[in-house]
């Protein structure tokens, strides 16, 4: 067994050896607690038949734990300065592929299909850069990649929003976009003290598991998300007011919006945060002929 990368001492040795300095713009915070990494990997239920997709491997702290559990690891790293570091720290593992690329621009499906067709199980496991957590999650979900699920670390506040239930302050269009595809649960909270450098906020690990079927079937997924985003545009406003002000020519189509709300049995004075994902689905379908046809 090789010495873990993720100890304060070893991390400092590696950073010193390469003269590495953290870039605030890339949201670099490296984990220095091997127990937390082991826990993260255990939530992913990886086997030799699994591919783990990682975003932002840093110096390879989580990557090496993934390499010990999965058949293959594909890590996307945007920071060129880390490539020689990773080549060094991950040299004991022959089942890791580091892709020098911005995950938001990468063709993830291509990376997976060409090399990893033989693996039946794909999981995303990552300590996500905080400043782009949401775009990364949405990209991986919207691209319809054959992912079983994700175990990802992020800012605790974002994790709370993703896993929130209707009627709570954290619930919003992000909760709906993610929960449409995946069941979301916060599995652990992580104190800022186990990172180098320490971030200003606490973190949480969220486990997302793909639904066999979406919770509601809709005519147009994009339109469902547009309706939910519109409904939360101003949280204090009623659903009727938000839809009127946000949907194209909404004010002229007030009667149609009222008809759609009535058809779904939704009181127009309710606020967006009280609607379940099923109600949003029904509402999107009822509004669809007016706004999309």
Residues that constitute the known binding site for S-adenosyl-L-methionine:
29, 31, 56, 77, 102, 127
The length of the chain, given as a count of residues: 293
CB 282 within 8 A of CB 246: no
| Residues tagged in the binding site annotation | 29, 31, 56, 77, 102, 127
Q: Nearest CA to 233 among 268, 273, 199, 194?
A: 273
Q: What are the E-state strand segments in 85-200?
A: 96-100, 121-127, 149-155, 182-190, 195-196
Comparing CA positions, the residue from 108, 97, 110, 239 lying closest to residue 173 is: 239
Are the C-beta atoms of residues 128 and 208 closer than 8 Å to each other?
no
The strand pairing partners of 51, in sequence order, are 72, 122
Torsion sign over Cα 110, 115, 117, 122 = negative
The owner of tokens 């990172």 is 195
């Amino acid at each position: 067994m090789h010495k873990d990368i993720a100890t304060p001492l070893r991390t400092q040795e590696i950073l010193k050896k390469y003269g590495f300095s953290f870039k605030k713009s890339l949201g670099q915070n490296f984990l220095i607690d091997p127990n937390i990494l082991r826990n993260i990997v255990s939530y992913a239920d990886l086997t030799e038949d699994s591919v783990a997709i990682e975003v932002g491997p840093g110096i390879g702290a989580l990557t090496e734990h993934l390499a010990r559990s999965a058949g293959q690891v594909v890590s996307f790293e945007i920071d060129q300065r880390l490539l020689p570091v990773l080549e060094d720290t991950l040299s004991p593992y022959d089942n890791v592929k580091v892709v020098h690329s911005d995950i938001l621009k990468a063709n993830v499906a291509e990376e997976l299909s060409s090399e990893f067709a033989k693996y039946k199980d794909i999981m995303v496991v990552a300590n996500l850069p905080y400043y782009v957590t949401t775009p990364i999650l949405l990209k991986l979900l919207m691209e319809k990649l054959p992912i079983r699920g994700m175990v990802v670390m992020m800012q605790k506040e974002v994790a709370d929003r993703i896993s929130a239930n209707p009627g709570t302050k954290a619930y919003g269009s992000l909760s709906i976009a993610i929960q449409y595809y995946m069941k979301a649960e916060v599995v652990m909270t992580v104190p800022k003290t186990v990172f180098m450098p320490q971030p200003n906020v606490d973190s949480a690990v969220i486990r997302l598991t793909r639904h066999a079927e979406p919770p509601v079937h809709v005519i147009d997924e994009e339109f469902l998300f547009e309706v939910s985003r519109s409904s939360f545009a101003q949280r204090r406003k009623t659903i009727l007011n938000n839809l009127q002000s946000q949907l194209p020519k909404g004010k002229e189509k007030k009667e149609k919006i009222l008809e759609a709300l009535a058809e779904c049995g939704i009181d127009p004075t309710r606020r967006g945060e009280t609607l379940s994902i099923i109600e949003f689905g029904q509402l999107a379908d009822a509004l669809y002929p007016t706004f999309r046809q």
